[in-house]
Chain A
Amino acid sequence: MRILEVRDLRAGYGKRIVVDGVSIEVRKGEFLCIVGPNGAGKTTVLRCILGLLKPMEGAVLVNGKSVYEYKPRELAKRVSAVLTERADPGMLRVWEVVALGRYPHTGPLSRMSERDLDIVEECLELVGARHLRNKLFSELSDGERQKVLIARALAQEPRILVLDEPTTFLDLRHRIEIARLLRKLAREKRISIVATMHDISLAMRVCDRVVLVKEGHVVASGFPEDVLTEDMVSEVYELPRGAFDEDTGCVELGPEKEGERAVFVVGGYGTAAKLCRFLARQGLRVSIGILLDLDIDYRLCMRVAHRVLHAPSPEAIDSSVIEEAARLIESSEAVIDSGFPLSDVYRHNEELLRYAYEMEIPIACRRRSGVVPCHPFESLSQLASFLSRLLL
């Protein structure tokens, strides 16, 4: 059943239209993320849902009734919010901040009842902030503040919780804690959650459905697995190709401008991924080969290295790939052996190292005894000093 419906929303400030033709539906207990670049109109949509901004056209319906037909208190009993604006309530204690959330449920002159106070404690417990209850709100860390603000929003006993960038500015632990908390609220308390998010990798893990917006329009909506694809994200955020990995949600910076000095990495079995990133960051033009397609090194180096030589299987390595590898090795200033486990599968890479030795290309290797005579290294700093001596 649809609890929140945004229909053909057009909204903005003054004459400037920020959001046009946005439609969103949220069911009970569903977690919806709104994702998009800065200035795409995410916050504007939230402000309309909260009744803070009047739409120019279209409607925002909560339980089938327009938010502007609700009295402020009645709306506050159904929808509550955690906003990005920095709340500084002076010298209020944590429990007093949470108790503010009881406003719509208490009469104009009545004091907080036992039940109100119980709910305040419950909400503090739910977000795991009970130990903070007597602290001053202003003395909390950003992560603790966010939990308390969520507790305050929950004290309104809403059916819909609206959050504007709830995880921005938080450290890794708090980001995960907040994400898990929001999931729990949606699953167990059946609260519908609408949140804007900048952290795509977190959004694709935490929300049930995602709405991707760009320049005030909805570009796509649906399951995060369907919407947050490499093509779609690259297009919406105008990323260089290959920067975003839809399977992991990670972003690589990609090769910087073409490095002049080239190195060739011989790797496999996941031993070369971090090495490639390290070398690329040194401003080198990194090539790697010859990797099998099912090797994790292939998936990870693809977004980092200048050139990745690969083949579907050892048998499928043909002369053209080997010739290219040879050319790349010849034009490299050094060859780096990542220390991949020696086995039949990567026999061809051992051949590449022997070829480099014959061509008298300096070789650094991350193993005790090399396939060919080489400069051994254990740490990246040893490799760095080897390279700087070589490339001086």
Chain B
Amino acid sequence: MQRCRTASALAGLCGLVVLSLLLGISVGPVHIPLSTVLKVLWSQIASALTHRHTQCVSSVYYEIVVGIREPRTLAALVGGAALAVAGLMLQVLFRNPIVGPYVLGISSSAMLFVGIAILLGYTFGLGNLGPYTIVLASFIGSLVASLLILVAASLVPSIVTLLVLGLMIGYFCSAVTNIMIVFAQQRRVHEFILWTFGSFSSYMWSQVIVTYAACVPLLIASFAMYRQLNALLMGESYARTMGVNTRLARVAIVGLSSALTAVITSFAGPVAFIGMAVPLMARALLKTSNNAVLIPAVALLGASVTCLCDVAARVAFMGVEMPISTVTSLFGAPLLAYMLVRRRVRL
């Protein structure tokens, strides 16, 4: 019965991902009929297979689909999957169901370095302040926090110490960022604040390719950790007595989740709630904590939820594009509150 439920849930989630992909390409300020979307996708697949370029839809639609919607939707899909899996792994490691991928200070550190770029106008060696500078700054920020926390993970004896250390990195970075905000020009502050809410709108094809090239192997490696993660559900001491090299597992989990988070944060900025809420939703849906099932489920659910939130961000506010975090928080916070009250929040 359990196995049947699991299989049907995973199949359903796959369907949901496909649906999200189609909606993500079709819905927006310019509505593109689903049939056209399918035609474009088909022609792309056909040309990829036959190496012959055939264009059967109007070039405006084609440009929107291929140039704007596809990279954005694909980015939202992998971004959601990456953040949700990162959140899941950290929830298991810290044995705390309300932990997300940003507890270890990655977003705050990225914000600090992006703040240095936008608010202070420092370009990190690039000629002028453009989108690449922000990506670079965000990447450096995520990397610094990840490396710090990785070193800490291999040194500190207790897992709680690690969590507190991550929180402290977050507070420290926020404090420095706030100092910069106080002294910065108003226009720049506005730009900076908008960045901190995250967005998948600026993805270009090259960035999508880089993101997939990084995230797919990381997600596979994360799945390969499911046995260690399951053992860690019993607590670190039990995991040790079962033969898990807990120090190594800890470093691997922190490393993988940091890398996944860093890649997404570099391009899209911080995306709230996905990493914390999706694992909880998946557990409530599948009624299991077995990570062999949960990791694929969380990846699929994270992908489609993020993609659908991105669609809502485009159209829900009468043509004004909203940052992704506003939508995820708007839906995520009440959902999480409901689940907490109904005691559905479990590890």
Are A83 and B230 in contact, CB atoms less than 8 angstroms apart?
Answer: no
In chain B, positions 82-99 with a C-beta closer than 8 Å to chain A are 95
Are B237 and A52 in contact, CB atoms less than 8 angstroms apart?
Answer: yes
In the bound complex, residues from chain A placing their C-beta under 8 Å from that of B95 are: 88
Q: Is B234 an interface residue (CB 8 A)?
A: yes
Are B243 and A90 in contact, CB atoms less than 8 angstroms apart?
Answer: no
In the bound complex, residues from chain B placing their C-beta under 8 Å from that of A85 are: 235, 237-238
Are A90 and B233 in contact, CB atoms less than 8 angstroms apart?
Answer: yes
The residue of chain B having its C-beta at the shortest distance from the C-beta of A79 within the complex is B241
In chain A, positions 87-105 with a C-beta closer than 8 Å to chain B are 87-93, 96-97, 100-101, 103-104
Q: Is A50 an interface residue (CB 8 A)?
A: yes
Bound-state CA distance A81–B242 (Å) is 8
Q: Given A83-B237, A85-B237, answer yes or no on A103-B346 (Cβ-Cβ < 8 Å).
A: no
Task: Select which of B227, B235, B347 is within 8 A of A103 by beta carbon.
Answer: B227
Q: Is B290 an interface residue (CB 8 A)?
A: yes
In chain B, positions 218-239 with a C-beta closer than 8 Å to chain A are 224, 227, 230-231, 233-235, 237-238
Least distance between B270 CB and chain A CB atoms (Å)? 27
Least distance between A236 CB and chain B CB atoms (Å)? 28
The residue of chain B having its C-beta at the shortest distance from the C-beta of A104 within the complex is B243
- Counting chain B CB atoms within 10 Å of each CB, which of A79, A80, A88, A89 scores highest? A89
Bound-state CA distance A57–B216 (Å) is 47
In the bound complex, residues from chain A placing their C-beta under 8 Å from that of B233 are: 89-90, 92, 100
Are B237 and A103 in contact, CB atoms less than 8 angstroms apart?
Answer: no
Bound-state CA distance A294–B13 (Å) is 78
Q: Given A83-B237, A96-B290, answer yes or no on A88-B242 (Cβ-Cβ < 8 Å).
A: no
Instruction: Count A/B pairs, Cβ under 8 Å.
Output: 83
In the bound complex, residues from chain B placing their C-beta under 8 Å from that of A91 are: 283, 287-289, 346-347
The residue of chain B having its C-beta at the shortest distance from the C-beta of A105 within the complex is B243
Are A89 and B234 in contact, CB atoms less than 8 angstroms apart?
Answer: yes
Task: Select which of A71, A96, A100 is within 8 A of B242 by beta carbon.
Answer: A100
Q: Is A277 an interface residue (CB 8 A)?
A: no
In the bound complex, residues from chain B placing their C-beta under 8 Å from that of A108 are: 224, 227
In the bound complex, residues from chain A placing their C-beta under 8 Å from that of B242 are: 76, 80, 100-101, 103-104, 156
Are B245 and A72 in contact, CB atoms less than 8 angstroms apart?
Answer: yes
In the bound complex, residues from chain A placing their C-beta under 8 Å from that of B289 are: 89-92
- Counting chain A CB atoms within 10 Å of each CB, which of B227, B231, B238, B244 scores highest? B238
Least distance between A247 CB and chain B CB atoms (Å)? 37
Bound-state CA distance A71–B238 (Å) is 16
* Binding site secondary structure of chain B: loop
Are B238 and A87 in contact, CB atoms less than 8 angstroms apart?
Answer: yes
In the bound complex, residues from chain A placing their C-beta under 8 Å from that of B231 are: 100, 103
Instruction: Fill in one digit per residue for A285-309: 1 if any B CB lies within 8 Å of its CB, else 0.
Output: 0000000000000000000000000
Q: Is A209 an interface residue (CB 8 A)?
A: no
Are B234 and A77 in contact, CB atoms less than 8 angstroms apart?
Answer: no
In the bound complex, residues from chain B placing their C-beta under 8 Å from that of A72 are: 240, 243-245
Are A73 and B241 in contact, CB atoms less than 8 angstroms apart?
Answer: no
Q: Is B2 an interface residue (CB 8 A)?
A: yes
Are B346 and A109 in contact, CB atoms less than 8 angstroms apart?
Answer: no
In chain B, positions 111-161 with a C-beta closer than 8 Å to chain A are none
In the bound complex, residues from chain A placing their C-beta under 8 Å from that of B238 are: 81, 83, 85, 87
Q: Is A249 an interface residue (CB 8 A)?
A: no
Least distance between A158 CB and chain B CB atoms (Å)? 9
Bound-state CA distance A93–B224 (Å) is 21
Q: Is A134 an interface residue (CB 8 A)?
A: yes
Least distance between A246 CB and chain B CB atoms (Å)? 35
Are A103 and B243 in contact, CB atoms less than 8 angstroms apart?
Answer: yes
Bound-state CA distance A225–B200 (Å) is 74
In the bound complex, residues from chain A placing their C-beta under 8 Å from that of B283 are: 90-91
Bound-state CA distance A323–B180 (Å) is 97
The residue of chain A having its C-beta at the shortest distance from the C-beta of B97 within the complex is A90
Q: Given A72-B244, A81-B241, A156-B242, answer yes or no on A87-B235 (Cβ-Cβ < 8 Å).
A: yes
Bound-state CA distance A343–B346 (Å) is 69
In the bound complex, residues from chain B placing their C-beta under 8 Å from that of A101 are: 242
Q: Is A106 an interface residue (CB 8 A)?
A: yes
Q: Is A270 an interface residue (CB 8 A)?
A: no
Q: Is A370 an interface residue (CB 8 A)?
A: no
Instruction: Fill in one digit per residue for A58-93: 1 if any B CB lies within 8 Å of its CB, else 0.
Output: 000000000000011111110111010101111111
Bound-state CA distance A108–B231 (Å) is 13
Q: Is A51 an interface residue (CB 8 A)?
A: yes
In the bound complex, residues from chain A placing their C-beta under 8 Å from that of B287 are: 91
Instruction: Fill in one digit per residue for B228-264: 1 if any A CB lies within 8 Å of its CB, else 0.
Output: 0011011101101111110000000000000000000
- Counting chain A CB atoms within 10 Å of each CB, which of B231, B237, B347 scores highest? B237
Are B237 and A100 in contact, CB atoms less than 8 angstroms apart?
Answer: no
Least distance between B282 CB and chain A CB atoms (Å)? 11
Least distance between A65 CB and chain B CB atoms (Å)? 16
In the bound complex, residues from chain B placing their C-beta under 8 Å from that of A100 are: 230-231, 233-234, 242
Bound-state CA distance A7–B101 (Å) is 45
**What is A's interface to B at a CB cutoff of 8 Å?**
50-52, 71-77, 79-81, 83, 85, 87-93, 96-97, 100-101, 103-104, 106, 108-109, 134, 138, 156, 162
For the complex of A and B, list the 8 residue pairs with the smallest distance between their C-beta atoms, beginning with the closest: A76-B243, A90-B289, A90-B347, A104-B243, A73-B243, A89-B233, A81-B241, A91-B289
17 further contact pairs, Cβ within 8 A, besides A83-B237, A89-B289, A104-B243: A50-B237, A52-B241, A71-B243, A72-B243, A72-B245, A74-B243, A75-B243, A79-B241, A80-B241, A83-B241, A87-B238, A90-B283, A90-B346, A92-B230, A96-B230, A96-B290, A103-B242
**What is B's interface to A at a CB cutoff of 8 Å?**
2, 95, 224, 227, 230-231, 233-235, 237-238, 240-245, 283, 287-290, 346-347
What would be 22 A-B contacts, judged by CB atoms less than 8 Å apart? A51-B240, A71-B243, A72-B240, A72-B244, A72-B245, A76-B241, A77-B243, A83-B237, A83-B238, A87-B234, A89-B233, A91-B287, A91-B346, A92-B230, A92-B290, A103-B227, A103-B243, A104-B242, A106-B227, A108-B227, A109-B224, A162-B241
